[in-house]
Amino acid sequence: MRRIILAFAVTALTAAPFAAQAATGKEIFTEQKCNKCHKITSEGIAPLEEKPTIIDLSGVGKDHDVAWFKGWLNKEIERDSIVKKGEKAKHKIQFKGTPAELDTLAAWLKTLTKK
């Protein structure tokens, strides 16, 4: 029984530093400087600079699924332009993080359903 408890304790202690390193979607959003062009009022994320073109993503999760967010951030999807009516647009900047960070960010964006 002691060996089982000891093995469990060693596993838990050695795994803890790796678990602590996993960034949240909110952290990835700010680390990737997504708030240069976006704000998320519902999450308390202000834009780096106030501009008239800043888009609030507080409710964006209601409109799209995780796969759409991943495609949009990788510039694989077009949508109707918000700026130029009648034109199609892709995301301005391609996501530069890891595939795991993209998964985390896309899943987090899907949770944003408050306006």
pLDDT 10s per residue in the chain (115 long)? Answer: 555 554 444 444 444 454 456 799 999 999 999 999 999 999 999 999 999 889 999 999 999 999 999 999 999 999 998 878 899 999 999 999 999 999 999 999 999 999 7
Please state the length of the chain.
Answer: 115
Query: Does 71 reside within a domain?
Result: yes
Query: Does 9 reside within a domain?
Result: no
Query: Does 12 reside within a domain?
Result: no
The reply to whether the predicted model has a pTM over 0.85 is: no
* φ and ψ of 47, to 5 deg: -70, 155
Query: Does 27 reside within a domain?
Result: yes
Query: Does 67 reside within a domain?
Result: yes
Q: What is the CATH number of the domain that holds 37?
A: 1.10.760.10
Domain count, the chain: 1
